[in-house]
Structure 1
Amino acid sequence: MSHETGLVVVWTTRDREAALKMALPHARKARENGLWQRVILIVWGPSAKMLACDLDLREAVAACRRAGVETFACRESATDYDVAEQFRHYGLTLIDADGFLAGYMKEGWRVLTV
């Protein structure tokens, strides 16, 4: 039985530079350069508040989406920071992040947390 695997980038930090210089470009380039067939970005925790307030971060996430990165946000974090509607508007799918991530980990996907 063959299982598809890929990369999940979990973006949690409120460090703007880490997001703009590492997490988001890595997710985008990993997909653009064919390093992984599927790349998933999860916005979780303090990064949710940052994304809602920062145009440069939103543009970087949009570039990820254009490259084929699947974008998700933790429903609980989006609710806590009162940004759920904004995230839906940006095209992020709200998820139960704990269960979602665990499912991919159990399938053998690689996880990068920033």
Structure 2
Amino acid sequence: MKMNTNTNKIVVLWTSGDPEVAEKVCLMYTEAAKKNSWFEQVVLVVWGPSAKLLSENPMLQTKIKAMQELGVQVEACKRCTDTYGVTAQFEKMNIDVKGMGEELSDYLKDGWHSLSF
């Protein structure tokens, strides 16, 4: 029997454009998951309306930077950032902007836990 070695990895899919969901649920949990070692690897994917929200909200940008410093890997959907005109801004924030459809599918096929907000 093959042991699943990815049970200690989580990808958090952030799609909501609601600032309260971002601050009080999504980013709070994602940061705590890394800070408290609930998961060894924590990836946050910024997708859809969350890209617009993040581009306009300095407080959330500060939270993302702090999470990156803890070791949370932050990625964003390139089509989404292009749609909102924020790709360059995200790249300056050291967010890995790329096509996310196949990437997310690979996380799921590789057995990563997933959580969506």
TM-score under structure 2 length normalisation = 0.93
Given candidates 23, 32, 35, the residue that maps to 2:35 is: 32
Do 1:25 and 1:60's aligned partners in 2 also have CA atoms closer than 8 Å? no
Q: Rg larger in 1 or in 2?
A: 2
Listed as ranges, the matches of 1:86-105 within 5 Å are: 86-105=89-108
Q: Percent identity?
A: 33
- 1:22 paired with 2:56, answer no
* Residue equivalent to 1:46: 49
* Residue equivalent to 2:79: 76
Q: Equivalents in 2 of 1:28, 1:67: separation in Å?
A: 8
Shift of 1:60: 1.1
Question: Partner amino acid for 1:39?
Answer: V
Shift of 1:36: 0.3
Consecutive unaligned residues in structure 1, runs of 5 or more: none
Deviations 1:43-73 (A, max 9, x none): 0000101111110110111121111100001
Aligned residues: 114
**Two-structure CA RMSD over aligned residues (Å):** 1.0
Consecutive unaligned residues in structure 2, runs of 5 or more: none
* Residue equivalent to 2:109: 106
- 1:13 paired with 2:16, answer yes
TM-score under structure 1 length normalisation = 0.96
Q: Equivalents in 2 of 1:96, 1:16: separation in Å?
A: 24
Following TM superposition, where does structure 1 have runs of at least 4 consecutive aligned residues deviating by more than 6 angstroms? none
Do 1:75 and 1:94's aligned partners in 2 also have CA atoms closer than 8 Å? yes
Question: Partner amino acid for 1:4?
Answer: N
Question: Partner amino acid for 2:50?
Answer: S
